[in-house]
């Protein structure tokens, strides 16, 4: 069996931006997408993110990768960029996970091949237990990590000899969120290292995921903001902290309202005064809302449930002009509008896709119920938002993204303020009470045949554009190998991801 994934080939270019006084240091990576086939399925499934540095990232359908090298001689890795965790970890070349031919194709670390490998206390285990009961475990080590043209020596990382995925993570969350046994064991993660080594002035970065219809690349700017990548002004949202002892910090903001407007501009759904704690997490593909909100919207768009694929909708919903709006920080806070199409995710693998009995191609629906898990706003939301994460001032800056723009104007973040921010939304508060880590695990499943029942009848009036009225010809029966990043049921403790 085979699945399609992306191999990221990055070319680095160093350049300077003119500004008053000393020019800021900016490192940009150009990213090229290639198709990589015949990657074996994971044999060890556990089931169940002045001075500024701009680094290109690429969208592996539902994953966003950043390219680094580790060791001497340097070995290339593609790591998932994750704002929802704080450790950098890589799969071990000696793990069962990486032993099959061409497994761990985006990088596996062999300590015997690096002259700069430094083992740490073998009794200080690296271990992350996620909400869906899957785990990543191994040891901590130090080695040279190169990100763009910046070299970070003695970077502490996790070396995973047991994991539920063959892809490592570059965690860019709070240092206090590291998976160490006690606060005294905390170490400088990648963001802290960049500041400590003088690459950036402040523990802050901005994230522009972009959408993948035109460009397959986005960017992260450590220590800076690109004012060309968003519309209007940034609005500051205070990060909501959990006051409970030992709680891990997250990028939690307050969601005040959700509404759906069809392509004719008519309201189809609205809920306000929600005051919900929402985590902005680039390591999660879908958007998780409280069950009542997720169910109402799913019913509205005509989503139907499938035991293997989860919530399904007709792929023609991608052509709808409907918009879901999210209001943050109170009734007068910033509003991020997300096209319905951003939540319609392809299930195609190698050009095939499952179909409803009427031969309508089926797509996954990118809003799921959170169950007992935290409310997470993942990539289906974040592609439409430009987000600045200021770890020192514990603030989020947010604005509507400017898709597929090639212009750039990078401004350094040099203190507690966020450049380009004109106001602060403090009309609501919702302390985070969830403790634990969500997971974005790749799970492989083989599924045959068509879907036995048709799509549900939508309760929203989505519009009848000519594009939506078109039907795609039959694709026939197909046996698909699916790897996805779609949470099927956090309540059941099982996650499935489909690429």
∠433-275-242 over CA atoms, to 5°? 25
Asked whether 346 and 443 are in contact (CB, 8 A), the reply is no
Q: Which of 341, 265, 319, 261 is nearest to 465 (CA)?
A: 319
φ and ψ of 494, to 5 deg: -125, 135
In angstroms, the CA 194 to CA 53 distance is: 9
Q: Which of 82, 87, 143, 256 is catalytic?
A: 82
Looking at the DSSP bridge assignments, the partners of residue 234 are: 421
Sign of CA dihedral 364, 383, 434, 126: positive
In angstroms, the CA 439 to CA 406 distance is: 32
Q: How many helices (H) and strands (E) does the chain have?
A: 4, 35
Q: Which of 212, 226, 281, 379 is catalytic?
A: 281
Strand ranges in 110-228 using DSSP code E only, listed in sequence order: 118-119, 125-129, 135-147, 150-162, 169-171, 204-208, 217-222, 224-226
Sign of CA dihedral 92, 97, 103, 104: negative
Burial letters 455-475, b for 16+ CB under 10 A, else e = bbebebebbeeeebeeeeeee
Asked whether 119 and 201 are in contact (CB, 8 A), the reply is no
Q: What letter does residue 151 receive in the DSSP assignment?
A: E
Q: Establish whether 82 is a catalytic residue.
A: yes
Asked whether 39 and 102 are in contact (CB, 8 A), the reply is yes
In angstroms, the CA 411 to CA 413 distance is: 7
φ and ψ of 328, to 5 deg: -120, 150
In angstroms, the CA 452 to CA 138 distance is: 43
Give the DSSP H/E element, type plus range, for residue 195: helix 190-196
Sign of CA dihedral 422, 426, 430, 432: positive
Give the residue numbers annotated as catalytic, written as ranges.
Answer: 82, 281
């Amino acid at each position: 069996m085979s699945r399609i994934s992306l191999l990221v080939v990055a070319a680095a270019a160093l350049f300077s931006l003119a500004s008053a006084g000393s020019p800021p240091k900016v490192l940009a990576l150009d990213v090229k997408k290639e198709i990589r086939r015949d990657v074996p399925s994971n044999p060890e499934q556990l089931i169940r993110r002045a001075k500024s540095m701009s680094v290109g990232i690429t969208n592996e359908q539902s994953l966003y990768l950043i390219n680094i090298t580790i060791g001497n001689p340097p070995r290339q890795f593609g790591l998932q960029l994750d704002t929802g965790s704080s450790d950098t970890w890589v799969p071990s070349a000696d793990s069962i996970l990486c032993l099959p031919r061409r497994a761990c194709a985006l990088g596996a670390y062999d300590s015997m091949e690096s002259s700069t490998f430094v083992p740490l206390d073998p009794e200080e285990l690296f271990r992350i237990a996620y909400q869906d009961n899957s785990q990543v475990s191994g040891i901590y080590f130090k080695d040279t990590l190169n990100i763009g043209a910046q070299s970070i020596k003695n970077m502490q990382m996790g070396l995973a000899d047991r994991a539920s995925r063959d892809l490592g993570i570059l965690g860019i969350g709070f240092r206090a969120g590291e998976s160490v046994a006690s606060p005294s064991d905390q170490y400088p993660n990648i963001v802290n290292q960049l500041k400590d080594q003088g690459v950036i002035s402040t523990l802050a970065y901005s994230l522009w995921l972009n959408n993948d219809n035109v460009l397959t690349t986005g960017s992260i700017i450590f220590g800076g903001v690109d004012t060309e990548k968003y519309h209007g002004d940034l609005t500051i949202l205070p990060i909501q902290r959990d006051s409970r002892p030992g709680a891990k910090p997250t990028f939690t903001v307050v969601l005040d309202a959700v509404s759906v407007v069809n392509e004719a501009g008519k309201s189809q759904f609205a809920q306000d005064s929600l005051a919900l704690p929402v985590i902005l997490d680039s390591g999660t593909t879908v958007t998780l809302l409280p069950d009542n909100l997720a169910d109402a919207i799913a019913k509205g768009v005509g989503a139907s449930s499938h035991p293997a694929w989860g919530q399904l909708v007709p792929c023609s919903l991608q052509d709808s002009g409907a918009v879901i709006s999210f209001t943050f920080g109170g009734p007068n806070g910033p509003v991020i509008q997300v096209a319905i199409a951003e939540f319609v995710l392809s299930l195609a693998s190698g050009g095939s896709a499952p179909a409803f009995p009427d031969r309508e191609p089926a797509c996954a629906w990118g809003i799921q119920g959170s169950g007992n898990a935290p409310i997470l706003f993942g990539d289906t939301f974040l592609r439409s938002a430009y987000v600045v994460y200021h770890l020192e001032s514990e603030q989020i800056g947010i604005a509507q993204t400017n898709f597929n723009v090639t212009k750039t104007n990078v401004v350094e973040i040099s203190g507690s303020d966020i450049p380009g921010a004109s106001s602060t939304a403090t009309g609501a508060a919702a302390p985070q009470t969830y403790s634990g880590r969500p997971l974005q695990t790749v799970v492989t499943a083989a599924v045959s045949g068509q879907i036995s029942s048709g799509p549900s009848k939508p309760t929203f009036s989505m519009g009848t554009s000519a594009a939506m009225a078109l039907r795609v010809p039959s694709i026939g029966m197909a046996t698909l190998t699916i790897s996805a990043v779609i949470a099927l049921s956090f309540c059941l403790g099982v996650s499935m991801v489909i690429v």
